[in-house]
Structure 1
Amino acid sequence: MPAQRSPQTAQTARPAPLPAGTRLLHIGPHKTGTTSIQGALFGAKETMPAYGVEFPAASRHPMQAVLAACSRGGMIGDTTPTERHWQQFVEQVAAGGRKTSVISSEFFADAPDDATIERVVEQLGGARVHVLVTLRPLAKIMPSQWQQYVQNGLRMGYEEWLEHMLRKAPYEKPNPSFWRRHRHDRLVERWVRVVGADRVTVVVVDDRDREGLMRTFEALLGLPDKLLQPVPDTANRSLTLAETEMLRNLNKEFRGNGLPDELYSKLIRNGAVMHMKNACSPTSRDVKISTPGWAVEAAAGIGAEMAERITAMGVRVLGDPALLSAVPKPAASDGGEEPRMAPEVAAQALYGALAAVAEAGAGRPGARGVHQTSSRELVRVLGHRCLKRLRRH
C-alpha cells in the first residue's frame, strides 16, 4: 500500500481541475475568506469565460437570492428577500449552459435542513454540483463574527457572548446561527448527506498564505495562475474594539428607545458604520478584539474534534487540518489597553448618519445632495425628519 501524503504535502500540491461543466458551489461559511474570493471572482468575470468558466451573478455576492433560498430574512431593517430573487439567480446560472461555473455565498451555510440543501443542489445543476467548504480556526473566527453580529444589532459584550457560545448550553443564545455555521463538521456532514463525500472539497485556509485560497480556486476551475487578484474592499473590514463598543452601546440606546428597525438599517448600518469603515482605516494604535485564553483553548479543542470528524468522512481535504486546532500566539498589543476611538473616526460615523438622512430625500424634485447642503441645514433637516419618524411610531 502506498504511503499516505502528509497534510503538509497535500497543502502545497496543486489540486487537479474539476471536470468541465462542474458547478462549483462555495458555501462559506462566514469569515473564511468569502468576501475576498467573491471580489476576485467578480473582478475576473469578463476574463474567465475565455477559459470556459462563468461567474453567473450580477454582483459580487448574490446575497438576496441565497437568503431567500435558505428561508432567511435580511439584515435588521432591510427588505425581506423573496422567492423571485432566487428564481432570477437560478435562471442566471442556467444561462451558462454546459460551461463550468462558480457560485459563492456564505449564506448557503445557513440552509436550515436537508430538504433546503436538496432543493438548492437540484436547482443549481443536480449531479453537476460540487460543494466547496472553506474553513479557518474558530479562535480566529469568533472575534470577527461577534463584531459582525454587533453590526446587525447585538448588544452583548464579547466575553459574555463567548460565555453563551462556549459554556451555556444549548449554546444558541443570543445567536443561534453561530454554531449552525461554525460547527464545521456538522456543516460538512449536512451537505455530504445530500451530494456524497466524493462531491465535497474542504479547504483549510492558511492565513500565512494570503493568496493561497485564490490559487486553490484557480486550480479547481482550471484557470491560469494569478488570474484571480485581490480587490480592496474597505466596507468589509472588521471593526476595532473601540468602534465595536461604540456601536454596541448605540445598539442599547436604539433598542431602549424602541426605534424602528428600518432606521437602524438606513442610519446606523448603512449610514454611520458604512461611512466610518470607508473613510477610516485602523492604525497600529487601535486596540483589536482580543479573545481570552480560556475561550481560545476551548475553541482549539472543538477545532480538533471537528478536524477529526471531517477527515473521517472521506471528503477531499486541501490544506492542513491541524490548523483548525492550533492555538494562536497572543498579539503583541494584547495588554489590556483601554480602547479609545479617535475623534475623527467618531466624526465620520456621525457624518455618515447625517448623510444617510439627507440622502433619503435626494430623490424628490429639487432635492439637493449631501455635499450641496451646509452643515447647519443638514442638522436642521436631520432633526426635523427624526422627529417626524418618532411621532409616527
Structure 2
Amino acid sequence: METDCIKEALPSGTRLLHIGPHKTGTTAIQGALFAAKDAMPEHGVDFPAHSRHPMEAALAACARPAMMGDTAPTDKHWTRLLDAVRATGDRTSVISSEFFADAEDDETIARIVQQLGGERVHILITLRPLAKIMPSQWQQYVQNGLRMGYDNWLEHMLRKAPYEQPNPSFWRRHRHDQLVERWTRAVGPERVTVVVVDDGDRDGLLRTFEALLGLPANLLRPVPDAANRSLTLAETEMLRKLNVEFRGNGLPDELYSKLVRNGAVMHMKNSCSPTPQDVKITTPRWAVEAAGSIGAEMAGTIAATGVRIVGDTALLSAVPKASEQVPEAPRIAPEVAAQALYGALAAVAAAPVRHTAPAKARTVHQTSSKELVRVLGHRCLKKLRRR
C-alpha cells in the first residue's frame, strides 16, 4: 500500500509530537530541527525543547528509568518542557523524542496528550522495516549494558515466548501496529500520521516534516553526527565482553555511564569511522524472514486503523537480500581499541581524584587487574557523588 505525499500542512497551533520509535531516523530529524530552531519561528513554527533531544523530559513523562548509570529523570524535566510548549501560545510547535514510544498504558498516553494541549496534539510515528531495526537496536542495548550475543538475543526476541527478556522494551517500541493503536486510542485516527521511512530517499523524512509543519523546502538540513553511528560487530563485541567483566566485578552503574558509554564508546565513535573492511552485524536468514512476516502483519493492522500513512507500507515487510559472502571473524583494529581506552582515561582525567590516604606499599604492577579496576571504579564513583 503506497500513499500520496502530504499536500496540506497541519493547522496552525498544532502540537506535533514525534514519538519515534527508536532507530527510525529520530536522531537525524532532531538534529535538523534543533539546527533550524532560530529560523523556524519566521514561518510560525517553534521548537520549544532546550536541547536537541529532550530525553529526560520524555522519560519522566512516561515514568521510565534513565539509561544505565545516568541521572534519574524527574518531574522538573517534564514540567520545564511543558512550560516551554505553553509559552509558544497559538503558534505551531514540534517535540521529538523516541522515548515517548515507551509509554506503557493508555492512561499514561492520555495524560501526556492532555498536558501537551489535548485536541491540539497531533501524533507522528516514523517506521522502518523490522529486519533493519533489529541489529541496530541490539547494538544500542549493548551500549546500555546488555551482555547477550546477537544470535542468542534474536532467539529470545523471536522464539522464546513471551519475548520479553532480556529487553522488554523492544516489542513495546517495535510492535508497531500496537504502538499505533495505543496512541490512536488517545487522539483518534484523524490526528495520527504514520511515515514509512524509505532508506533509499535520504532526505525524504526531512521533506515530510517540512510539509507537515508548513516550512519552506530545504529549511531542514542533515546535521552530521558521528556520535550517533552504529557500532561495527567488532566494536559491539568488544563492548559486550566489557559489559560481562563490568557486571562480573560488581562495579556501580554510575561508572558505566561516565567511563564506558560517555567515555570509551563516545570517543571511539567520534574518532573512528567504519571502513568497508569492518564486519557488519549480520542477521541470520531465519530471523530476517520472521521479521518480514511480522512486518507484513503489522502493515495490515496499521492500515486498518484509518490513520494517515505517508510512504509505502510494503517496505515494512521487506526482506533484505542475503549476503553471498561468508563474514570473517570480527577483529577490533588497534586504533579503535586505543581510542576507546583513551576515551575512558579522558573521562577519569576530567574528574581527578584527590588522594587522601597514604600510598600503599604495593606498586601498580604488583596489584591484580581486577583489584585495580575495582579501586579505580570506587574512586571515580566518590568523585561523581561529590559533584
Query: Common fold, TM-score beyond 0.5?
Result: yes
1:341 CA drift (Å): 1.1
The number of equivalent residue pairs is 366
1: CA distance between counterparts of 2:17 and 2:238? 37
**Percent sequence identity over matched residues?**
73
Task: Map Cα deviations across residues 84-109 of structure 1 (whole Å, 9 max, x no partner).
Answer: 11001100111101001111000000
Are 1:387 and 2:375 counterparts?
yes
Task: Map Cα deviations across residues 272-314 of structure 1 (whole Å, 9 max, x no partner).
Answer: 0000001111011100000000000000000000000000010
Contact 2:127 2:194 in 1 (8 A): yes
Q: Which residue pairs with 1:341 in the alignment? A: 332
Q: In structure 2, what residue type is equivalent to 1:335? A: V
Task: Map Cα deviations across residues 11-50 of structure 1 (whole Å, 9 max, x no partner).
Answer: 5x34321111111110000000000000000000000000
Q: Which residue pairs with 1:274 in the alignment? A: 266
Q: In structure 2, what residue type is equivalent to 1:260? A: P
SS of match in other structure, 1:271: helix
User: Which consecutive segments of 4 or more residues in structure 1 shift more than 3 A?
Assistant: 383-386, 388-393
SS of match in other structure, 2:122: strand
SS of match in other structure, 1:25: strand
Q: Which residue pairs with 1:95 in the alignment? A: 87
Are 1:145 and 2:133 counterparts?
no
The unaligned stretches of length 5 or more in structure 2 are: 355-363, 365-370, 383-387
Q: In structure 2, what residue type is equivalent to 1:259? A: L
- Structure 1 residues 94 and 293, CA gap change in structure 2 (3 angstroms): same
Q: Which residue pairs with 1:319 in the alignment? A: 311
2: CA distance between counterparts of 1:148 and 1:299? 18
Contact 2:28 2:223 in 1 (8 A): yes
1: CA distance between counterparts of 2:95 and 2:254? 30
Q: Which residue pairs with 2:301 in the alignment? A: 309
Are 1:172 and 2:164 counterparts?
yes
Contact 2:251 2:374 in 1 (8 A): no
1:385 CA drift (Å): 9.0
- Structure 1 residues 385 and 286, CA gap change in structure 2 (3 angstroms): closer
The residue correspondences of 1:198-277 to structure 2 (distance < 5 A) are: 198-277=190-269
Contact 1:15 1:216 in 2 (8 A): no
Task: Map Cα deviations across residues 107-152 of structure 1 (whole Å, 9 max, x no partner).
Answer: 0000011111111101111100000000000000000000000000
Moved more, 113-122 or 242-251: 113-122
The unaligned stretches of length 5 or more in structure 1 are: 1-5, 365-375, 377-382
SS of match in other structure, 2:309: strand
Q: Which residue pairs with 1:16 in the alignment? A: 8
Contact 2:6 2:310 in 1 (8 A): no
1: CA distance between counterparts of 2:186 and 2:372? 54
Contact 1:301 1:325 in 2 (8 A): yes
Contact 2:142 2:236 in 1 (8 A): yes
1:390 CA drift (Å): 4.2
2: CA distance between counterparts of 1:43 and 1:335? 42
Contact 2:30 2:96 in 1 (8 A): yes
SS of match in other structure, 2:195: strand
Are 1:128 and 2:116 counterparts?
no
Task: Map Cα deviations across residues 229-267 of structure 1 (whole Å, 9 max, x no partner).
Answer: 000111110000000000000000000111111111111
Contact 1:25 1:130 in 2 (8 A): yes
1: CA distance between counterparts of 2:300 and 2:269? 38
TM-score when normalising by structure 2: 0.92
SS of match in other structure, 1:360: coil
2: CA distance between counterparts of 1:79 and 1:167? 34
SS of match in other structure, 1:214: helix
2: CA distance between counterparts of 1:309 and 1:114? 19
Supply the RMSD in Å over aligned alpha carbons: 1.8
Q: Which residue pairs with 1:57 in the alignment? A: 49
Q: In structure 2, what residue type is equivalent to 1:235? A: A
Q: Which residue pairs with 1:35 in the alignment? A: 27
1:387 CA drift (Å): 1.7
Are 1:289 and 2:277 counterparts?
no
Q: Which residue pairs with 1:372 in the alignment? A: none
Contact 2:175 2:298 in 1 (8 A): yes
